[in-house]
C-alpha cells in the first residue's frame, strides 16, 4: 500500500509535533507525522528534566545557544496559548568551591554573550536565604530568573492536538526504514508500505542520524547518552522554589534538583553513554549516583516519598551541536537535538516550517482560517470547590473519582482518550491527565483505567497495553 | 457561581470498608442517629470484596468466612440499622473544623459539617517506585492487590509466569490464587530473614503448592522492553545489600509486589492530625481520638492490621467513643504516654487514660521465641503475657485491666522480654 502526502514528518516528539503545528497553521498542504512508537512524546520528549533553559549553557555562536534563547522567549506565550503547565520559577547554578566559582562566572559571561536577561551572581548569605534547604557549603550561585519549568509531554500533546485540529494526520507504530529520493520528492519505506511525499522532515530523535546518513554525504553519528531520574511525591512544602543545578561537566548539565509544574520533586539526571538508544532501563549504580549527587545540593534529601524512577536518552551528536536545516533537496532535518532541545523546539519548528514553505517544489496552499487549540477543561484538582460543584453538575462523571492520589475524575480520563490525538494506552492516559501518576502508581486505578480504555476504544480489555507495542496489561480471561 | 450543598451531620465516617461499617454500627447502637458513611467504591465492604479466600472471622464469629461473606454480615447489619452508606462518594478534603468535602456522581459536591469524624480510609500498597528497584518500566508489574482485583473482580489474568516480591499476606494469597488459575508461580522473594505474612498463609499458600520462599533475597533488576521478560533475584547481607555472585535469573512475565502497606492518611495529614512515624497512622489515645478533638481513627488507616477481626473490634470501640464524644462525654483527666520498648514497634494507642480497660496492639520488631510482652510503668510491671513465638507478621494484642492501670502516672513502656535474660 502506498500513501501520498505533501509533507512527511518523521518522529512525533516535541520537534516533530511543534513543526507539524507550525506548518499546519500556515498551509493547507497534507501533513503526515509518522512515529514508530504508539503515542507522541514517547522518546526523549517524555523523559527529560522539563526545564526551559535560560540559555547560558551553550557556547556563544552555536546553534544550541541561538535556538535556546529564541525558544525560551517563545515559551510563555506558547504555553499560555496551548494551556500547558509552565512556571518561570528561575534557576540557580550552585558553586561549592572556588573552582566552581570560576565556572559560574564563566557561565555568567557566556549567558550575557548569548543574550540571556537578568543573570547575576548571588553570594552565599543571600543564596541560603533564597533557598534555605540548600547545602550550606555552597559558596555562590548564578541566578537565572528566566529559567522555567514545563510539563514536557503535555506540551507535545497540546502541539499534536493543535496540529491535528488543523488537518495533520498522525500514524503510530510506523517506523521509517529508509528514504529514497524520487523525481517529485521522497519515498519513505515502512513495514506497512511506502509513503511518497514532496518533502520530508527528519526529526527522529535518537534514530535521526540513521536516516540522515541515507540522504547526506556529511555523515553524522549520535551517541545515546542516558539520564536517570528519581521522582518524589509532591510534598506539602516544596524543598526548593527554583531549579537547582550543579556546575556543568563535559557530559552535560550535571544533577539537578527541581520542583515540577505538578509539585513533585525531580532528581537527576545521570549522563552515561550506552550502546542501545532504546535502553531506558534504570540501574542500581545510576540511581545511587543520582542520590549521592542530589545530596550535595540538598543534604536533607530522602527517597522515602519516591514515587518512581525513569531514564531518558539524549541524542548527542559527536560535534556537540544541533544540525537543523536543509540537508538534501526537499529534505530538512533536526539531528542531535539533545538538551536544550526541549527549550529550542519551538524555535527549531518555526525555522523549519518557514524554510519548508519556501521550498520551490512546494505547492503554495496558504491556510487562511486556522482552528484554535484544543481546549482542555481545567484539571479537577486545580478547581475551587465552587468550580468542582459546577463541573459535576455539568457532567456527573466529574463526580466519579478514579485516581485518588492525583484526584482525577472519570470525565477527565474519557477526555484524555477523546482529545484529538488521544490516549490509547494506560501510560497515555497517565501522562495526559495524571491518573496513575501518584504515590500508589496506579495500584488502585489501573484496573478502572483499563476498563475505560477498552470501552472508549471498543477493544477487549485484554488488548489494552501499558505503553507501546506488545506491552499488554493482561494475558487473558479466566 | 453555583452554590455548594452544605449538610449538617453529627457523625461522618470516611470509608465503608470493615472499619467504617463497624464504626457506624457501633455508633448507631450507641445512639447516634444522624450519621453518614462515605465510601468511594460502588459498594461497601472495602478490600474484603476482592478477598474471595476464606480465613476471615475466626475470632469474631468462630467460623471461617470469605472476605465478601464477612463484609456481607456488616453490610446486612448496617442495612438493618438503617445506616446511610453513600457509595461512589470520594472525600476530597477535611478541614480542621471537621468540614468534610465529598463528591459523587449522584449528589455532586457536598460539604458535610460534622460534629465528629471517624477516619476509616484503610491503607494502600507500596508500589515499585517506593522500592527504587532498577530496570525498565515495562508492563506486567503489579501490586498484589491490583492483580487480585483483576483476577477476582474482573476475571482477567495479569500473567502466566509469576515472581512475587515480598511475602506480605496479599502476596502469599495471590501466589495460591494465580497457581489455582493455571499460572506458574516461580518464587516468592522476601528481603527480610522472615516473612511479614501470617504463618498459616506461608503453609497454605506457598508450601502446599511447592512454591519456594527465598528469605533474605530481593529483586535487583527488572527486564523487558514492552512486557516483563525476567527479573534478577539476589541474596542480601545483614545490611540488606545485594551480595554479588548470588544472582538467580527468572524468566517471567509478571512481578507481583507485596512489600508493605501504608495507611492512607493524606486527608488526615492535611487536616492537621498528628501522625506517628512508626505506624504512619494517627497518634491516638485509648478512645482512638486523634490530636484533633472529635476526630477518631480505626482500622488500617490507624495501623496496618493482620486480621480483619481486630479491625472490627477496634472500629466498634471508635464508634462508641465518637458517640460518647457527641454526647458531651469528653475523655478527661490525666493521660500517660505509651512507648515502644525493646522488640516492639508501633504500640497503639500512644496515649491512654489510666482509668479503664485498655487494649494495646503492636507488631514485634523481629522474630522472637519464648518471650513475654511486658507492660511497665515507673518500675512497676502492670501486665505480662507469654507466647511461644512472636513474628512481625502477627499482631500482638494485650488488654490491660483497669485495676492494673490504677495509680499509673508515669509513661508506660511495652517490651518483649526473652525468657532467661
Residue B356 has pLDDT above 70, yes or no: yes
Question: Would you say residue A141 lies in a domain?
Answer: yes
B156 and A287: CB-CB below 8 Å? no
Beta-sheet strands, E only, within A381-444: 401-403, 408-409
Superfamily name with CATH number, domain B1-125+261-331: FAD/NAD(P)-binding domain (3.50.50.60)
Closest listed residue to residue B304, CA positions, set B314, B295, B296, B294: B314
| Chain A nearest CA to B230, separation (Å) | 13
Determine which of B47, B107, B132, B253 to mutate to test the interface with A (most A C-beta atoms within 10 Å).
B132
pLDDT in tens, A239-286: 999 999 999 877 777 899 999 999 999 999 999 999 999 999 999 999
d(CA A301, nearest CA chain B) in Å: 14
Which residues of chain B from 15 to 54 reach within 8 Å of chain A, CB to CB? 40
Question: Is the pLDDT score of A34 beyond 70?
Answer: yes
Of A286, A388, A470, the CB nearest to B226: A470
Specify if A472 maps to a domain. no
Which residues of A are the active-site residues?
A: 53
**Does domain B127-259 correspond to CATH entry 3.50.50.60?**
yes
CATH of the domain at A213: 3.50.50.60
The minimal CB distance from A400 to the residues B88, B92, B125 is found for B88
The count of other CB atoms within 10 Å of the CB of residue A457 is 15
Instruction: For residue range B220-253, list pLDDT tens digits in order.
Output: 999 999 999 999 999 999 999 999 999 999 999 9
Enumerate residues 6+ apart whose C-beta is below 8 A from A420: A160, A161, A164, A165, A374
Model confidence over A407-425: pLDDT tens digits? 999 999 999 999 999 999 9
Cross-chain Cβ contact B227/A461 below 8 Å: no
- Same domain membership, residue A436 and residue A360: no
A99 touches chain B (CB under 8 A): no
Nearest CB to A308; choose among B2, B129, B266? B129
- Where along chain B do its domains lie? 1-125+261-331, 127-259, 333-421
Using the 3D structure, point to which of A335, A351, A375 is the last residue of a domain. A375
Contact B106 A396 (CB under 8 A): yes
Which residue in the set B107, B132, B220 is minimally distant from A306, CB to CB? B132
Shared-domain flag, residues A4 and A96: no
Report cis status (omega within 30 of 0) of the bond before B258. Answer: no
Q: Tell me the average pLDDT across B208-218.
A: 98
Residues of A in contact with B104 (CB under 8 A): 399-400
- Per-residue confidence band for B334, with pLDDT thresholds at 50, 70 and 90: confident
Same domain, A129 and A226: yes
Question: Residue B145: which of B131, B118, B166 has the closest Cα?
Answer: B166
Taking contacts as CB-CB distances below 8 angstroms, the residues of chain A near B269 are: 236
A443 and B160 in contact by Cβ < 8 A?
no
What mean pLDDT comes out for the span B358-377?
95
- A122 & A200 share domain: no
By CA distance, what is A450's nearest residue in B? B150
> Angle CA(A419)–CA(A465)–CA(A156) in degrees, nearest 5?
40
- Cell (9 digits) for B178: 494465580
Q: How far does the CA of residue A64 sit from the closest CA of chain B (Å)?
A: 31
Q: In terms of domains, do A243 and A331 share one? A: no
* pLDDT at B396 exceeding the cut of 50: yes
Residues 262-301 of A with CB under 8 A from B: 278, 280-284, 286-287
Average pLDDT over residues B81-96: 97
Q: Which residue has the cell 508506660?
A: B412
Tell me whether residue A432 is in a domain.
yes
Distance from CA of A382 to the nearest CA of B (A): 12
Whether A4 and A93 share a structural domain: no
pLDDT exceeding 70 applies to what percent of chain B?
A: 99
- Check residue B242 and report its DSSP letter: B
Could you tell me which residues come within 8 angstroms of residue B297 by beta carbon, excluding any fewer than 6 positions away?
B118, B119, B120, B268, B273, B281, B282, B284, B288, B290, B318
Give domain B333-421's CATH number out of 1.10.3470, 2.60.40, 1.10.287, 1.10.10.
2.60.40
The phi and psi torsions of A121 (rounded to 5 degrees) equal: -95, 130
Minimal CA–CA distance to A232: which of A294, A181, A276, A313?
Answer: A294
A116 and A207 belong to one structural domain: no
Whether A476 has its CB under 8 Å from any CB of chain B: the answer is yes
Spatial contact of B100 and B94, defined as CB atoms under 8 Å apart? yes
pLDDT band, very low/low/confident/very high, at B2 (cuts 50, 70, 90): low
Residues of A in contact with B127 (CB under 8 A): 307-308, 439-443
In this prediction, residue B1 carries a pLDDT of 47
| B184 near A CB under 8 A | no
Distance from CA of B182 to the nearest CA of A (A): 9
Mean residue pLDDT across chain A: 96
A347 assigned to some structural domain: yes
Helix, strand, coil distribution of chain A in percent, nearest 5:
35, 25, 40
CB of B244 less than 8 A from some CB of A: no
A471 in any annotated domain? no
Cβ distance of A442 and B146 shorter than 8 Å: yes
Using the predicted structure, report yes or no on whether residue A1 has a pLDDT greater than 80. Answer: no
Question: Which residues, other chains included, contact A98 with Cβ-Cβ below 8 Å and sequence gap of 6+?
Answer: A139
Residue A101 shares a structural domain with residue A137: yes
- Comparing CA positions, the residue from A57, A232, A300, A256 lying closest to residue A149 is A256
Consecutive H or E run containing B383 = strand B380-390
Mutation to test the A interface, candidates B17, B108, B121, most A Cβ within 10 Å: B108
Which position has the grid cell 550552585? A94
Contact A308 B92 (CB under 8 A): no
Nearest CA to CA, how far is A296 from chain B (Å)?
Answer: 20
pLDDT at B333: 82
**Neighbouring residues of B242: CB distance < 8 A, sequence distance ≥ 6:** A284, B218, B220, B234, B235, B236
Chain B CB contacts of A468 below 8 Å: 226
Residue of A nearest to B229 (CA): A471
A399 closest CB neighbour out of B4, B103, B134: B103
Say if the ipTM goes beyond 0.90. yes
DSSP per-residue codes, A138-173: --EEEEETT-EEE-HHHHHHHHHHHHHHTT-EEE-S
Domain identity same for A30 and A81: yes
**Is A230 at the interface with chain B, CB within 8 A?**
yes
Q: Do A476 and B156 touch (CB under 8 A)?
A: yes
What does the pLDDT average to over A104-119?
A: 96
**Residues A478, B139: C-beta atoms closer than 8 Å:** no
List Cα–Cα distances, B78 to A175, A201, A444, B25, in angstroms: 59, 66, 26, 6
Nearest CA-CA partner of A82 in A156, A28, A27: A156
Judge if A157 and A60 occupy the same domain: yes
A52 in a domain, yes or no?
yes
B146 vs A404: CB contact, 8 Å cut-off?
no
Chain A residues in contact with B92 (beta carbon < 8 A): 388, 401, 407
Share of chain A above pLDDT 70, in %: 99
CATH of the domain at A453: 1.10.10
Residue B336 or residue B5, greater confidence: B336
**Residue A284, domain CATH:** 3.30.9.10
Q: Which domain holds residue A306?
A: 86-147+222-313
DSSP for residue B236: B
Inter-chain residue contact A466 with B146, CB threshold 8 Å: no
pLDDT at B420 over 80: no
Q: How many CA atoms lie within 13 A of A432 on its CB side?
A: 32
Q: Is B74 on the interface with A (CB under 8 A)?
A: no
Pick the residue of A389, A409, A414, A425 with the most B CBs within 10 A to test the interface with B by mutation: A389
What integer pLDDT is reported at residue B5 of this predicted model? 87
Q: Are B418 and B380 in contact (CB under 8 A)?
A: no
Alpha-carbon distance A76 to A87, whole Å?
8
Residues B92, A407: C-beta atoms closer than 8 Å: yes
| Domains B127-259 and B333-421 belong to one CATH topology | no
Contacts of B145 in chain A (CB under 8 A): 443
pTM of the predicted model as reported, rounded to 2 decimal places: 0.95
Judged by CB atoms closer than 8 Å, whether chains meet at A440 and B127 is answered as yes
Please name the residues between 152 and 171 in chain A that touch chain B, using a CB distance below 8 Å.
Answer: none
Interface contact flag, B109 A399, Cβ < 8 Å: yes
Contacts of A476 in chain B (CB under 8 A): 156-157
* Contacts A–B by Cβ distance under 8 A: 156
Number of structural domains found in chain A? 3
Looking at the complex, does the CB of residue A343 fall below 8 Å from at least one CB of chain B?
A: no
Nearest chain A CA: its distance from B240 CA (Å): 14
Do A467 and B157 count as a contact with CB atoms less than 8 A apart?
no
Does any domain span residue A47?
Answer: yes
Do A241 and A136 fall within a single domain?
yes
Nearest CA in chain A to B108: A392
Chain A residues lying within 8 Å of B149, measured CB to CB: 447
CB contact under 8 A, B105 and A443: no
What pLDDT does B130 receive?
Answer: 85
B267-294 pLDDT per residue, tens: 999 999 999 999 999 999 999 999 999 9
Amino acid at each position: 500500500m502506498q500513501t501520498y502526502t505533501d509533507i512527511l514528518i518523521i518522529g512525533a516528539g516535541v520537534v516533530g509535533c511543534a513543526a507539524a503545528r507550525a506548518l499546519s497553521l500556515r498551509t493547507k498542504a497534507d501533513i503526515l507525522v509518522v512515529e514508530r512508537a504508539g503515542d507522541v512524546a514517547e522518546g526523549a520528549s517524555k523523559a527529560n528534566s522539563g526545564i526551559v533553559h535560560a540559555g547560558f549553557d551553550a557556547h556563544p555562536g552555536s546553534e544550541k545557544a541561538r535556538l535556546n534563547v529564541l525558544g525560551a522567549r517563545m515559551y510563555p506565550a506558547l504555553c499560555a496559548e496551548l494551556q500547558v503547565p509552565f512556571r518561570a520559577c528561575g534557576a540557580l547554578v550552585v558553586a561549592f568551591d572556588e573552582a566552581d566559582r570560576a565556572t559560574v562566572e564563566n557561565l555568567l559571561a557566556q549567558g550575557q554573550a548569548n543574550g540571556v536577561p537578568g543573570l547575576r551572581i548571588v553570594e552565599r548569605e543571600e543564596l541560603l536565604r533564597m533557598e534555605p534547604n540548600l547545602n550550606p557549603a555552597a559558596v555562590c550561585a548564578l541566578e537565572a530568573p528566566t529559567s522555567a519549568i514545563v510539563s514536557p509531554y503535555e506540551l507535545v500533546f497540546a502541539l499534536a492536538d493543535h496540529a491535528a485540529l488543523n488537518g495533520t494526520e498522525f500514524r503510530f507504530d510506523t517506523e521509517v526504514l529508509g528514504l529514497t529520493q524520487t523525481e517529485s520528492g521522497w519515498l519513505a519505506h515502512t513495514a506497512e508500505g511506502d509513503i511518497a511525499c514532496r518533502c520530508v522532515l527528519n526529526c527522529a530523535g535518537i534514530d535521526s542520524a540513521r536516516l540522515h546518513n541515507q540522504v547526506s554525504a556529511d555523515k553524522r553519528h549520535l551517541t545515546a547518552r542516558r539520564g536517570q531520574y528519581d521522582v518524589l511525591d509532591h510534598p506539602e512544602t516544596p524543598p526548593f522554589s527554583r531549579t537547582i543545578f550543579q556546575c556543568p561537566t563535559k557530559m552535560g548539565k550535571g544533577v539537578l534538583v527541581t520542583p515540577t509544574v505538578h509539585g513533585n520533586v525531580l532528581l537527576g539526571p545521570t549522563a552515561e553513554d550506552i550502546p542501545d538508544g532504546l535502553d531506558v532501563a534504570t540501574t542500581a549504580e545510576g540511581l545511587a549516583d543520582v542520590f549521592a549527587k542530589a545530596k550535595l545540593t540538598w543534604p536533607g534529601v530522602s527517597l522515602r516519598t519516591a514515587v518512581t524512577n525513569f531514564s531518558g536518552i539524549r541524542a548527542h551528536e559527536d560535534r556537540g551541536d544541533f544540525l537543523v536545516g536543509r540537508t538534501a533537496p526537499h529534505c530538512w532535518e533536526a539531528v542531535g537535538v539533545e538538551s536544550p532541545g526541549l527549550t529550542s523546539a519551538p524555535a527549531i519548528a518555526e525555522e523549519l516550517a518557514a524554510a519548508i514553505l519556501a521550498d520551490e517544489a512546494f505547492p503554495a496552499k496558504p491556510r487562511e482560517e486556522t482552528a484554535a487549540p484544543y481546549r482542555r477543561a481545567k484539571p479537577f484538582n486545580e478547581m475551587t470547590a465552587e468550580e468542582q460543584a459546577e463541573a459535576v453538575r455539568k457532567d456527573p462523571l466529574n463526580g466519579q473519582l478514579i485516581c485518588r492520589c492525583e484526584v482525577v475524575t472519570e470525565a477527565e480520563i474519557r477526555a484524555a482518550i477523546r482529545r484529538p490525538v488521544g490516549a490509547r494506552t494506560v501510560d497515555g492516559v497517565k501522562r495526559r491527565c495524571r491518573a496513575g501518576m501518584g504515590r500508589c502508581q496506579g495500584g488502585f486505578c489501573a484496573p478502572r483505567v483499563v476498563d475505560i480504555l477498552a470501552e472508549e476504544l471498543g477493544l477487549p480489555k485484554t488488548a489494552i497495553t501499558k505503553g507501546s507495542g506488545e506491552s499488554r496489561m493482561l494475558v487473558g480471561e479466566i | 457561581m453555583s452554590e455548594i450543598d452544605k449538610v449538617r451531620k453529627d457523625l461522618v465516617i470516611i470509608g465503608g470498608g470493615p472499619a467504617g461499617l463497624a464504626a457506624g454500627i457501633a455508633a448507631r447502637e450507641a445512639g447516634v442517629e444522624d450519621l453518614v458513611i462515605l465510601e468511594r467504591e460502588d459498594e461497601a465492604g472495602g478490600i474484603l470484596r476482592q478477598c474471595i479466600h476464606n480465613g476471615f472471622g475466626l475470632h469474631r464469629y468462630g467460623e471461617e468466612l470469605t472476605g465478601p461473606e464477612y463484609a456481607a454480615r456488616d453490610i446486612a447489619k448496617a442495612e438493618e440499622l438503617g445506616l446511610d452508606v453513600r457509595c461512589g462518594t470520594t472525600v476530597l478534603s477535611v478541614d480542621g473544623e471537621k468540614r468534610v468535602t465529598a463528591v459523587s456522581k449522584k449528589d455532586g459536591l457536598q460539604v458535610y459539617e460534622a460534629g465528629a469524624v471517624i477516619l476509616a480510609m484503610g491503607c494502600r500498597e507500596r508500589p515499585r517506585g517506593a522500592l527504587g528497584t532498577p530496570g525498565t518500566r515495562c508492563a506486567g508489574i503489579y501490586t498484589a492487590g491490583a492483580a487480585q482485583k483483576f483476577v477476582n473482580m474482573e476475571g482477567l489474568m495479569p500473567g502466566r509466569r509469576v515472581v512475587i516480591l515480598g511475602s506480605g499476606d496479599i502476596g502469599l494469597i495471590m501466589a495460591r490464587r494465580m497457581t489455582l488459575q493455571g499460572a506458574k508461580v516461580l518464587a516468592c522473594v522476601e528481603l527480610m530473614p522472615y516473612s511479614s505474612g501470617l504463618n498459616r498463609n506461608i503453609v497454605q499458600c506457598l508450601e502446599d503448592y511447592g512454591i519456594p520462599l527465598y528469605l533474605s533475597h530481593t529483586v535487583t533488576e527488572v527486564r523487558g522492553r514492552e512486557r516483563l521478560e525476567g527479573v534478577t533475584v539476589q541474596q542480601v547481607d545483614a545490611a540488606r545489600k545485594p551480595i554479588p555472585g548470588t544472582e538467580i535469573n527468572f524468566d517471567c512475565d509478571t512481578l507481583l509486589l507485596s512489600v508493605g502497606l501504608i495507611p492512607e492518611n493524606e486527608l488526615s495529614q492535611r487536616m492537621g492530625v498528628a501522625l506517628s512515624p512508626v505506624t504512619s497512622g494517627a497518634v491516638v489515645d485509648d478512645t482512638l481520638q486523634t490530636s484533633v478533638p472529635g476526630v477518631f481513627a480505626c482500622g488500617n488507616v490507624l495501623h496496618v492490621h493482620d486480621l480483619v477481626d481486630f479491625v472490627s473490634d477496634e472500629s466498634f470501640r471508635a464508634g462508641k467513643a465518637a458517640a460518647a464524644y457527641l454526647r458531651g462525654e469528653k475523655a478527661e483527666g490525666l493521660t500517660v504516654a505509651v512507648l515502644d520498648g525493646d522488640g516492639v514497634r508501633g504500640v497503639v494507642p500512644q496515649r491512654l487514660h489510666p482509668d479503664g480497660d485498655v487494649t494495646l496492639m503492636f507488631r514485634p520488631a523481629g522474630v522472637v521465641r519464648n518471650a513475654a510482652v511486658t507492660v511497665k510503668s515507673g518500675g512497676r510491671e502492670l501486665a505480662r503475657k507469654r507466647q511461644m513465638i512472636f513474628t512481625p507478621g502477627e499482631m500482638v494484642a494485650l488488654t490491660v485491666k483497669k485495676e492494673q492501670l490504677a495509680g499509673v502516672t508515669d509513661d508506660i513502656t511495652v517490651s518483649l522480654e526473652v525468657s532467661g535474660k
